[in-house]
Amino acid sequence: MRKKLGMIVILLLWIALVGCSASSPSNETKSSQAKPSPSGKAEPASGNAGDMVKIGVVLAETGPASGLGKPEIDAIRLVKKKLEAQGGMIGGKKVEIIMKDYETDDTKAVLAMRKLIADEGVSVVYGATQVSTSIALRDIALKNNVVFLSGAPIGQLGETVFQTGQTSEVLIQQMIDYLKSKNIHTVAWINARDAFGQSGLPIMKKLAEPNGIEIVDAEDFDASATDMTVQLSKIKAKNPGALIVWSRTPGAGVVVKNFKQLGFTIPMLQSQAAANDAFLKQVGADGEGVLVQGSKASVAEQLPDSEYKNRLIQHNQEMMAEYNYPGDIFTTKATDAMNIIFKAIEAGNTTSDQIRDFLENQLHEYQGLSGTFRYTKENHAAVDDNGVSLLPIHNGAWSYSK
């Protein structure tokens, strides 16, 4: 009997362990908000104000979110390599990029960010592959008055927090515009039960009504689930005109498979979190015709001729040469983040306050790879949707239709 009791105790511990590791990437992380260090707040290390500027990067290179984090960190490595090739100097200042992998673990991200600020004295941090992590890092940035460029859409920003990449409002509006252009007025919604998955529906609800779109059903699924037939059967009974999926892989890909098996014929729209190679590989032939909101870099060759097209092609070639895969929504976003920081440094700004001031007042209209940046003092998330498009999957590859 004692043997069995011991086993059950271990079992419970294990379940707790599994539960924690499975849910930590999706927690809203209120609990891991920055607690002030004994001295009130982390004091930046000295010696930063002079001729040295340090940029911190906190991304999920490994762990479940690495399908998104790996391209980001690879793109930044490429930027770093190019920087070092020219002596690591920008506008007479020595620039150092310090990269941290948070292993898809919010707690590790928070620790990494605190270290970057307290030990390295970084002026600016780019980060977080996931929404929940970015929210946690935002709070640390605000407390320490450090500029934070969030790679994930986190809605509420703050005085020193900017967002690279389009807001969910901009992206969902693009989806709605597509539905309207196809004369579709009813839509079903399905999302993963993690921070990113849950961030979309409230925005969709807000935007749907004024645009004359009715949400006939909204379902969700566990981010690690392997079968969504139940949710899709419920959706099928409501007979919507299209389905919007708001989830990252592998969940996003499982929906595609079950969607095909259940014999749906309506259009399926997938979010930017599915716009990567992992998704294409996972869905294979079942993905034919699925629309994914992805970077125009993925279809650079098919774009109409422009200076923008040439820059995307150059980015793709550089990525291909270094990592053997082309650019996507994540590589372009991360590259843009580094480039706007470089622009600020080039103009002689080295401290957090100066960089924030530059982004608000002097960046004006910056044509990045992921879209046009228009930051102002009032809007820290102004990136146009001109860098993204709904890309239909055709023959296992992205295609462009406009």
Partner 1 sequence: MDFGQLMQFVITGLTIGSIYGLIAIGFVAVYNVTGVLNFAHGEFAMVGALTSISLIHAGLPLFLSIPLAIAITAFLGGMIEKTTLSPVRNASVVTLIIITLGLSIIIRGLGYILWGAYPLSMDPFSNNEPIHIWGAVLIPQSMWVFATMIVLLGGLYVFFEKTVFGAALKACVVNRKAAELMGINTKSLSTFSFIMSAAIGAVAGIVITPITSATYDMGLFLGLKGVVAMVLGGMNSLTGAVLGGLVLGLLETFAGGYVSTAYSDAISFAILILLLFFAPNGLLAKASGKRV
What's the closest the beta carbon of residue 13 comes to partner 1, in angstroms?
9
What's the closest the beta carbon of residue 104 comes to partner 1, in angstroms?
9
Phi, psi of 341 (to 5 degrees): -65, -45
Task: Give whichever of 129 and 349 is closer to partner 1, judged by the CB atom.
Answer: 129
What's the closest the beta carbon of residue 205 comes to partner 1, in angstroms?
17
Sign of dihedral through CA atoms 160, 166, 171, 177?
positive
What's the closest the beta carbon of residue 220 comes to partner 1, in angstroms?
6
Please, are residues 270 and 245 in contact by the beta-carbon 8 Å criterion? yes
Task: Give whichever of 71 and 327 is closer to partner 1, judged by the CB atom.
Answer: 71
What's the closest the beta carbon of residue 208 comes to partner 1, in angstroms?
21
Task: Give whichever of 63 and 165 is closer to partner 1, judged by the CB atom.
Answer: 63
Task: Give whichever of 2 and 364 is closer to partner 1, judged by the CB atom.
Answer: 2
Look up residue 383 and give its DSSP letter.
B
Task: Give contact residues for partner 1 (rule: CB under 8 A).
Answer: 1, 3-4, 6-7, 10-11, 14-15, 18, 21-22, 62-64, 66-67, 70, 193, 219-222, 224, 226-227, 229-231, 233-234, 237, 249-250, 253-254, 257, 261-263, 277-278, 281-284
What's the closest the beta carbon of residue 199 comes to partner 1, in angstroms?
16
* Upper half-sphere CA count for residue 205 (Cβ side, 13 Å): 8
User: What is the SS3 string spanning 56-79?
Assistant: EEEECCCCCCHHHHHHHHHHHHHH
In angstroms, the CA 267 to CA 242 distance is: 5
What dihedral angle (degrees, nearest 10) is formed by the CA atoms of 21, 25, 27, 31?
Answer: 80
Task: Give whichever of 205 and 281 is closer to partner 1, judged by the CB atom.
Answer: 281
Could you tell me which of 53, 49, 46 has the C-alpha nearest to residue 90? 53
Task: Give whichever of 89 and 262 is closer to partner 1, judged by the CB atom.
Answer: 262
